[in-house]
Structure 1
Amino acid sequence: MHILIIAPEQIPVPPPYGGSVEHCIYQIARKISSRHKVTIVSKLRANFPKKSTLGHITIHRVPGGNKQTYLSNVLKMVKGHHYDIIQIDNRPRFVPAVRRAFPHTAISVFLHSTTFISAPMTSRKQAASDLSSANFIVGNSLSLQNHLKRTFPNIRHKVRYVHLGVELNQFRPGLARTRSKHHPFIILFAGRLIPRKGIPVLMRATQIIRRTVPSARLHIAGGTGKPSYKKQLQQLAASLRIPVTFKGNISRRQMPQFYRSGDCFVCPSQGHEAFGLVNVEAMASGLPTVASRNGGIPEIIRHASNGLLVTNYRSPAAFAKEIIQIATDSSKAKRLAKQARIDVTRRFSWRATASKLETIYASKSSR
């Protein structure tokens, strides 16, 4: 097959930092390209070439100040070419225009969250209309698949799911940290600095934790499009009198070392977390992980087996209780971390992601 992947308009593929969607596109393409030809179109950015060729992958990068301009440039780039499958990542609004340009080609929409099928990004009616022209709608978790089927019952027969993966050779356990007054208990968070990621809950949990574990401190990796929100978080940390380090955007290459720098990883998502790639990366890195029992996260973390889940995830005290277990019970922390690495190795490789996606696309029979 020749597969065309249309990336969102915000970040180039491969992403220099952040960009979990673009990262997934690149990793899936690398695995699929061992058996198929893959063309990716993504955003053009300074210091990136307009065209890259990596084995059987060709990446074209086009300019685009907004979604409409970007999509127009994408369609100009691919006009006149033949593809067996066109995969559109996280942009259902692109489907009608792509369908008009390729009326006889199978189209898949790969969704990484509910953001672009929900208000305020779109209406349910508009999303249903956009998705109706696709042959496949692929979610990144069973939770997202079920949400799509409930929300859009008329196209439920087109919906599938494929779990994401992790580079197991990059994200791997490092040397165990020895805690003392010179090695405090480090709690890690990685993700965009936006309200639904739950950072204020984690900060308040850290304040509670420090009553039992005085050395506890919080390291936050990730950027934000709204500097005012980061300032709010900094002010909250100051008011709570907790030590918080904002690491900013960390490159994909540096992320494995970030995970290995901590004693515990926490994902306190407050909105629906379709998958939670950071949890898989942390677990692969041999890090005890605490996360909200929310969305697709329980498909990754099994409570008290390979991590800890927080049911009352709006409660700082509930998070503090689980994190304190890891901080004060080293044998439990080691057992969770060991099982996490085993489970991720068995279940969440990019090869497994690519193979399942290939099986779905080989059918081409949903429309």
Structure 2
Amino acid sequence: MKLLIIAPEQNTVPPPIGGSVENSIYQITKHISNKHRVTIVSLWRKHLPRKSIINNTTILRVRGGSKRKYLRNAIAKVKGNRYDFIQIDNRPGFVTQVRKAFPTTRISVFMHSMIFVCPPMTTKRKANADFRSAKLIIGNSKSLQRSLMKRFPAHKSKMKFVHLGVDTRKFYPSRKASVKSFHLLFAGRLIPRKGVPVLLKAYKKARKSVPSLRLSIAGGTWKPAYKAFLKKTARRLNVPVRFKGNLSRNKMPQFYRSGHCVVCPSQQHEAFGLVNVEAMSCGLPVIASRIGGIPEIIKHGRNGLLVTAYRKPSAFASQIIKLAKHPKLYKSLSIRARRDAANKFSWKRTAKRLVGIYARKS
């Protein structure tokens, strides 16, 4: 199979920092390209070559500047070539122009969230029209698939789901001598929907029962004022928090291994949550909101803990206290978290399922 993947315009493939969509593309193709030929079109940055070849994968990088310019350059780079499938990641708005350039090639849209099919990014009518030219619409979780089906019922028959994965060789556990000083971690974009203020308030409440509790937060933001607000909130609550900034992807495994537990207090629909499987692969239980696709990964009492009343800091605090005060529970969840990550969420498994879907549509 010859597969063309068109990445979003915001980050490079592979991404040095953040870029969960671009990282997913890179990791999946590493496992696809052993038997198939893959071409990725991605954003170009000055420190990167225009063209990279890794096994059977070719990465072509083009100039951006805007969505329109990036897409025009991406199409110009590959127009005239033949592909069995074209996969567009998380940009359904690209489909119409790609269809014009490749009128007979099958197109799939791999969706990573609902953001780009809802206002203010687009209208329901425009997204419906974009999906009309796609052969397949793939969500990264059952929850996202259901949300897409509900919003775009005319395209139900095209919709599938493929869970994302984790590099279990890179994200592995470390031996922790004790959990006397229980270290909480948060990793993700510093935006309101991620629920960091809820975590800060929960942390303050939990410290009343576990005074040695620590918290480190890793992540960047496009709005420095919001990060300043979070720091001000931590000072107002009088809780010690380490803001680690936007860590590179190479530093994330060590960040996870520095802690005992990841807290994911999402306040809005979370399609999948790569942070959760990365933490699990490092042997960390995850305390997370029972929302979106998270319960497909976190199984309450097996590999982590789910919070139903996720808008209440006290609900998170009680789960944090439970984990910090019960070493046997912590150890059990930790072992199963690593086991489930390795058995259910490897990139090899993701790639195999994706290729299988494309093969059935060939």
TM tier, smaller: over 0.9
TM-score normalised per structure 1: 0.97
Residue 296 of structure 1: how far off its partner (Å): 0.5
Equivalent residue, structure 1, for 2:299: 302
% same residue: 57
Matched, 1:211 2:202: no
Matched, 1:178 2:178: yes
Residue 189 of structure 1: how far off its partner (Å): 0.5
How far, CA to CA, are the matches of 2:178 and 2:350 in structure 1?
36
Equivalent residue, structure 2, for 1:118: 118
Q: Which of residues 310, 314, 319 in structure 2 aligns to 1:317? A: 314
How far, CA to CA, are the matches of 1:35 and 1:270 in structure 2?
41
Q: Which of residues 333, 353, 358 in structure 2 aligns to 1:356? A: 353
1:150-181 Cα offsets, whole Å, 9 max, x none, are 1111010000000001101111110114245x
Equivalent residue, structure 1, for 2:72: 72
CA contact (8 A) 2:62 2:73 kept: yes
Q: Which of residues 217, 225, 229 in structure 1 aligns to 2:222? A: 225
5 Å matches for 1:117-156? 117-156=117-156
Residue 44 of structure 1: how far off its partner (Å): 0.6
Instruction: Point out where structure 2 has 5 or more consecutive residues left out of the alignment.
Output: none
Q: Report the secondary structure of 1:149's partner residue.
A: helix
Equivalent residue, structure 2, for 1:337: 334
> Which letter does structure 2 place at the counterpart of 1:224?
T
Equivalent residue, structure 1, for 2:266: 269
Tell me which stretches of 4 or more aligned residues in structure 1 moved more than 2 Å. 177-180
1:72-98 Cα offsets, whole Å, 9 max, x none, are 100110111111110000000000000
Q: CA RMSD in A?
A: 0.9
> Which letter does structure 2 place at the counterpart of 1:30?
K
TM-score normalised per structure 2: 0.99
5 Å matches for 1:254-265? 254-265=251-262
Q: Report the secondary structure of 2:250's partner residue.
A: coil
Q: Report the secondary structure of 1:53's partner residue.
A: strand
1:292-323 Cα offsets, whole Å, 9 max, x none, are 00000100111011110000101100001001
Using a 3 Å threshold, how does the CA distance of structure 1 residues 357 and 179 change in structure 2: closer, same or farther? closer
> Which letter does structure 1 place at the counterpart of 2:53?
T
1:189-222 Cα offsets, whole Å, 9 max, x none, are 0000111001010011001011011111211111
How far, CA to CA, are the matches of 1:233 and 1:177 in structure 2?
32
Q: Report the secondary structure of 2:338's partner residue.
A: helix
1:69-123 Cα offsets, whole Å, 9 max, x none, are 1001001101111111100000000000000000100000000011101111111
The number of residue pairs the alignment matches comes to 362
Equivalent residue, structure 2, for 1:249: 246
> Which letter does structure 2 place at the counterpart of 1:63?
R
Matched, 1:187 2:184: yes
Equivalent residue, structure 1, for 2:55: 55
CA contact (8 A) 2:179 2:324 kept: no
> Which letter does structure 2 place at the counterpart of 1:173?
P
> Which letter does structure 2 place at the counterpart of 1:240?
L
How far, CA to CA, are the matches of 1:263 and 1:186 in structure 2?
5
> Which letter does structure 2 place at the counterpart of 1:88?
I
How far, CA to CA, are the matches of 1:118 and 1:129 in structure 2?
13
CA contact (8 A) 2:280 2:286 kept: yes
CA contact (8 A) 2:179 2:260 kept: no
The farther-off stretch of 214-223 and 303-312 is 214-223
Equivalent residue, structure 1, for 2:43: 43
How far, CA to CA, are the matches of 1:179 and 1:282 in structure 2?
17
CA contact (8 A) 2:188 2:219 kept: yes
Q: Report the secondary structure of 1:253's partner residue.
A: helix
How far, CA to CA, are the matches of 1:172 and 1:318 in structure 2?
29
How far, CA to CA, are the matches of 2:50 and 2:189 in structure 1?
27
Residue 46 of structure 1: how far off its partner (Å): 2.1
CA contact (8 A) 2:185 2:262 kept: yes
How far, CA to CA, are the matches of 2:360 and 2:328 in structure 1?
47
CA contact (8 A) 1:177 1:263 kept: no
> Which letter does structure 2 place at the counterpart of 1:21?
V
Equivalent residue, structure 1, for 2:344: 347
